[in-house]
């Protein structure tokens, strides 16, 4: 494993590169301030992060884009798992009802 991504408060995502020699880290650009709870990638060019009511996608270039094609009754999102660019699962809880939510799709 040579690439590790960490998601956290204030929309922060750190990329740690352990590819030979001394590890290097960088703070990536998300343009959000929500607390991110999970990050996962199907590949080095297909990365996803979730938190609050937002889903973010990156092509591995250090920039993350909030996805706007999601339902209006968004949940408080806690997890993401990407099998491929079009096979992504996001899980959360609907704030008003407490009902569990699972979304499936891609960009």
Does residue 94 surpass a pLDDT of 80? yes
Query: Which of 47-55's residues contact partners 24+ apart within 8 Å by CB, and which partners?
Result: 47/5, 47/82, 48/80, 48/82, 48/88, 48/90, 49/5, 49/7, 49/13, 49/80, 50/77, 50/78, 50/79, 50/80, 50/90, 50/92, 51/7, 51/11, 51/77, 52/76, 52/77, 53/77, 55/80, 55/90
pLDDT in tens, 19-74: 777 788 899 999 999 999 999 999 989 999 999 989 999 999 999 999 888 776 67
Does residue 106 surpass a pLDDT of 80? no
Give the mean pLDDT of 75-97. Answer: 90
Residue 65 has what pLDDT? Answer: 94
Q: Region of 31 please: left (phi>0), alpha (psi -120 to 50) or beta.
A: left
| Confidence band for 13, pLDDT divided at 50, 70 and 90 | very high
Residue 72 has what pLDDT? Answer: 62
Show the tokens assigned to 29: 């650009």
Threshold 0.85, pTM exceeds? yes
Residue 46 has what pLDDT? Answer: 93
Give the mean pLDDT of 71-97. Answer: 87
The CA radius of gyration of the chain, in Å to the nearest whole number, is 14
Residue 3 has what pLDDT? Answer: 84
């Amino acid at each position: 494993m040579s690439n590790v991504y960490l998601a956290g408060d204030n929309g922060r995502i750190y990329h740690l590169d352990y590819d030979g020699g001394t590890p290097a880290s960088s703070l990536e650009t998300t343009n959000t301030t929500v607390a991110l709870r999970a990050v996962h990638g199907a590949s080095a060019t297909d990365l996803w992060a979730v938190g609050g009511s937002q889903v973010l996608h990156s092509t591995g270039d250090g920039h993350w884009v909030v996805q706007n094609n999601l339902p209006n009754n968004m949940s408080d999102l806690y997890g993401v798992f990407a099998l491929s660019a079009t096979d992504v699962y996001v899980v959360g809880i609907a704030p008003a009802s407490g009902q569990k939510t699972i979304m499936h799709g891609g960009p």
